[in-house]
Structure 1
Amino acid sequence: LKLTLCHFSDKRHGKTNVKHSQKFNIMASSGDTKNIPGYFIRANFEDVGMVYYDTTNKTFKPIHDWARRLKRDDPEHWKTISEDGIHYEQIFRVETEGFKQHSNQSGGVDIIQQNWGCEWDEETEMTDGFLKYGSNGEDFLTFDPETDTWIAANPQAEITKKDWDGDAARNLLWKNLLTKSCPSWLKKYFFFTNRLLEKRDRPSVSLLQKSSSSPVSCFATGFYPNKAVLFWRKDGDDLHDNVEEGQILPNPDGTFQKSADLDLSSVRLEDWGKYECVFQLDGLKDDIITKLDQSGIRTNKKKTSSITIIIIVVAVVVLLAVIGFVVYKKRRGERLSGCCCPGFSTEVK
């Protein structure tokens, strides 16, 4: 299940329809599979792993934090998808057994893949399902839910196509799964994660700079999902020149981070106030805007801390006190020796 937010509503280019998608990736292998699981199923949500199962570990595991929450908050649903995913292995192997007979692969390992899921347009409420099979790394069959027929990707798949086109029960099952069940699950996960997002802290956005001659990096972290836009603008206009945009990367806690570097080598210091960094995240109503201000930039340049200053001041005071005491003792000793008669001894016998 891969729930992907495509066509993110980017305010720089006008509002577009927001599409969500969900995808299952399934693979079964046979033959010499020492380093390959005999069967696995992976579900992705927002391009991030949701759940995973394979015949090596034999456990249906939640990958992301929100999936662990789903397992805890809705155990019945979790039980259903877990059992279906595990039991589907036998069905999958039986229905794709004929692929080997029509494949050019001889000996070694046979790998059959299945990718299926659906899309949901949030604006129009339209849904669209997809189902594809692959054999040993090549496309094999694609299902058309509008005509309830199969499309062969190569001559080897034609025999299977004819058999499956005549299987009305199989085709009706897949059509219902792609047009009804899948969109229902998709919306369930979408609204579930949105409720979690409402409780999550706002992402952190900072300005970073390695040295005074380095680009200023606008760094956003702690956001979820990973459909975010981070960009620089000047006087309200988007900047593309002298800007290097980084990729969205995962954090250990399941959130994401992204950066965008701005080269200011040719910009006068008095013009810095015209620049700002803008962070947009799906599900976050307001943009996070960070003005370019030299005092707000975190840098690697060493700064003297207040504690260090206090230590230095105390050290100086102590040193002056010691010097003053030595001078005082010296002068006092000179006065005492001057008041005594020559040859008089103060030693007590």
Structure 2
Amino acid sequence: MKEILLFLLFCHVVSPVKHSLMILITESSGVKNIPDFVYVALLDEVLIGYFDNIREIPEAPPGWAQKELNKDQQGLKWYTQVLLLIQYEYKAEIDILMKQLNQTEGVHILQSMNGCEWDDETGEVNGFIQYGYDGEDFITFDQKTLTWIAQKPEAVITKHTRDRDRPKNEMFNNLLTQRCPEFLKSYLNYGKSSLLRTDLPSVSLLQRNSSSPVSCFATGFYPDRAEIFWRKDGEELHEYVELGEILPNHDGSFQMSVKLDLSSVTPEDWRRYECVFHLSGVKDDIITKLDKAVIKTNYVPPSEFPAGPVIGGVVGLLLLAVCITGVFIWRRRNNGFRPANSSDSSSPETS
């Protein structure tokens, strides 16, 4: 039952065709200064929900997901209790594993990844439940046989234990094939104005200095299903390029970049190169020609560096700092340290 309730907490969707929900749970032992239990809900690899055993409050990013989570305070308390029960279950699991493996001390980590993918065109559903232990694959659920596959010899005991619990394995299968996609479809309707939007990026050419690679930088796009690459004479380049990862921005959009090494390219050949950005679901690509005139840089040649004004400004700031320090020393010697508006007897500091 607890596993079914797990999907009720944060179930949302984003991609225009295939929607995915992934729940990541981590239980650790012997790790100091971080939560022992961490729950993370991801929607197409984007964070949509979080819980840990220190705060003990389910959280969601600002926006519709947070609104849905906080809509029912009684429900929020119930979700919290569900996650606390799951936390105790994972604590028991890692204790059992440590005993089976004769591990009495040290750092040990149990992780699980479970969820489903649903294609809204074909209706195909794929579910998954996987466990890892100490950074290695440990055991996986097989939906076809409703049994568990040991990924390493140490997992055989756990496999036999789980295989014997047929009712629970049938519940897992129903969870992955029925309940998970049902909740995805329901919450898709709640967040469709945000989840199904398409935002094109701004694309810029950046370069540190004249000998550095030129970076084609795209930021502000949504969703994160995008490609960016350099091409020459209409053909995609694979040499002398360095592709960066897709990274999230603070506003929920994404950014990515690809660098091109021009050390062996003559100035006459620059016009043969262009950067191409493609966003899934959008017909027209954003094409940026390689042009020195549009490259942005913060590099200033030494010959053009305004040494006099800058040095004068630095000296001025230092003198200002000395003056301010002197004023504070004087105030402390004559009046003692007082906060702003200290003459107001009603302030908390002076009452």
- TM-score range for the pair, normalised by the shorter chain length: 0.5 to 0.7
Moved more, 278-287 or 106-115: 106-115
Q: Which residue of 2 aligns with 1:89?
A: 87
Instruction: Name the CA distance, whole Å, in 2 between partners of 1:221 and 1:167.
Output: 49
Q: In structure 2, what is the Cα distance between the partners aligned to 1:3 and 1:73? A: 11
RMSD, aligned CA: 3.7
Question: Paired residue for 2:66?
Answer: 71
1:233 aligns to 2:231 (yes or no): yes
**Alpha-carbon contact 1:42-1:52 (below 8 Å) kept:** yes
Cα displacement string for residues 22-75 of structure 1 (whole angstroms, at most 9, x for unaligned residues): 321112345x5543423221122232322111111111112x45xx32221574
Unaligned runs of 5+ in 1: 9-17, 304-349
Q: Distance in 2 between matches of 1:211 and 1:110?
A: 46
> Deviation digits for residues 165-200 of structure 1, max 9, x if unmatched?
232221111111111222334455667666426656
1:188-267 superposed matches below 5 A: 195-196=193-194, 199=197, 201-267=199-265
Matches within 5 A, 1:41-56: 41-56=39-54
Alignment deviations for residues 316-345 of structure 1 (CA, whole Å, 9 cap, x no partner): xxxxxxxxxxxxxxxxxxxxxxxxxxxxxx
Q: Look up the match of 2:23.
A: 24
Q: Which residue of 2 aligns with 1:59?
A: 57
Q: How does 1:1-349 map to 2 (within 5 A)?
A: 20-29=19-28, 32=30, 34-62=32-60, 64-65=61-62, 68-73=63-68, 75=71, 79=76, 84-93=82-91, 98-108=96-106, 111-121=109-119, 124-187=122-185, 195-196=193-194, 199=197, 201-300=199-298
SS in 2 for 1:226: coil
Which letter does structure 2 place at the counterpart of 1:143?
F
Alignment CA distance shift 1:52-1:248 (3 Å): same
3-state DSSP of counterpart to 1:183: helix
Residue identity matched to 1:299: T
CA distance in 1, matches of 2:170, 2:252: 38
Give structure 2 stretches of 5+ with no counterpart: 1-9, 302-351
Contact 2:199/2:222 (<8 A) preserved:
no
> 1:114-139: per-residue Cα shift (whole Å, max 9, x none)?
22122334664322211123444454
Rate the CA distance shift 1:251–1:86 in 2: closer, same or farther, 3 A.
Answer: same
TM-score by length of 2: 0.67
Q: Percent identity?
A: 46
Larger Rg: 1
- Aligned counterparts of 1:177 and 1:95: Cα–Cα separation in 2: 21
Aligned residues: 289
Q: How far is the alpha carbon of 1:231 from its aligned partner?
A: 0.8
TM-score if structure 1 supplies the norm length?
A: 0.67
Cα drift, residue 149 of structure 1: 1.3
Rounded to whole Å, the distance in 1 between the matches of 2:121 and 2:91 is 38
Partner Cα distance (1:216, 1:260) in 2:
8
Contact 2:27 2:94 in 1 (8 A): no
Alignment-mate amino acid for residue 39 of structure 1: F
Question: Deviation per CA, 1:220-256, whole angstroms, max 9, x where unpaired?
Answer: 1112333321111123211223333233333333333
Residue 276 of structure 1: CA displacement? 1.8
Q: Report the AA paired with residue 279 of structure 2.
A: L
Q: Which amino acid aligns with 2:24?
A: N
* Alignment partners' CA distance in 1, 2:278 and 2:190: 21
**In structure 2, C-alpha distance between the alignment counterparts of 1:276 and 1:3, rounded to whole Å:** 37
Separation in 2, partners of 1:264, 1:111: 45
Give the distance between the partners of 1:207 and 1:109, measured in 2 at CA: 45
- Are the aligned partners of 1:3 and 1:46 in contact in 2 as well (CA < 8 Å)? no
Counterpart residue type for residue 172 of structure 1: E
